[in-house]
């Protein structure tokens, strides 16, 4: 097996800065935005993007987490998943633009589960998707609005996102 680094810490910072600017531009400012990270690594990514948008836009942008465990369609294959807390910022999501944040977009099944989970929480005005890495290989008609890096890969390869908040190291690697 071989492993190569495709994003360094500096590359991740640049990608998140670009995504933050793109979200601000797309939304025409920070008003009405809520970022929800999908555990595990989507949560710190959402928090970082929200902090950047707050800095660039001058208005606090809330971030939270959205656990999708019980909404997944593969629980029968992996029933031992541990649900993580869902934390919706004060003010909820009704009538707001929700940006779902995930580390890697692959089949699209986690995002489908996130959309189902959102329905149980409220009714956003719009839902957008930001992902650090888009691998392709979609099984559902889901496309990200904001992407840090498009990384074409084979199904046999594994993409690993490591973030300082969780892994004490900051990189994206691909293992073949």
Distance of CA 151 to the CA centre of its chain: 16
Question: Which CATH number does 10-22+32-71+86-155 carry?
Answer: 3.40.50.2020
pLDDT at 19: 98
- DSSP secondary structure code for residue 114 in this structure: H
pLDDT at 95: 98
pLDDT at 102: 98
The dihedral region occupied by 58, where left means phi > 0, alpha psi between -120 and 50, and beta the remainder, is: left
pLDDT at 115: 97
Query: In this model, does residue 79 exceed pLDDT 70?
Result: no
pLDDT at 85: 86
Question: pTM for this one?
Answer: 0.95
């Amino acid at each position: 097996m071989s492993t190569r680094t495709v994003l360094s810490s500096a590359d991740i910072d640049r990608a998140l800065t670009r995504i933050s600017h793109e979200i601000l531009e797309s939304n025409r400012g920070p008003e009405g935005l809520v970022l929800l990270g999908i555990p595990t690594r989507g949560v710190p990514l959402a928090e970082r993007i929200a902090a950047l948008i707050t800095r660039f836009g001058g208005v606090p942008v809330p971030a939270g987490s959205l656990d999708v465990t019980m909404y997944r369609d593969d629980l029968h294959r992996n029933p031992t998943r541990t649900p993580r807390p869902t934390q919706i910022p004060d003010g909820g999501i009704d009538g707001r633009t929700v940006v779902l944040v995930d580390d890697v977009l692959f089949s699209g099944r986690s995002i489908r589960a996130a959309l189902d989970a959102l329905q149980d929480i409220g009714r956003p005005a719009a839902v957008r998707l930001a992902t650090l890495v888009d691998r392709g290989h979609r099984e559902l008609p889901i496309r990200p609005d904001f992407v840090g890096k498009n990384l074409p890969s084979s199904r046999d390869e594994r993409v690993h996102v490591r973030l300082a908040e969780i892994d004490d190291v900051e990189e994206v690697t691909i293992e073949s």
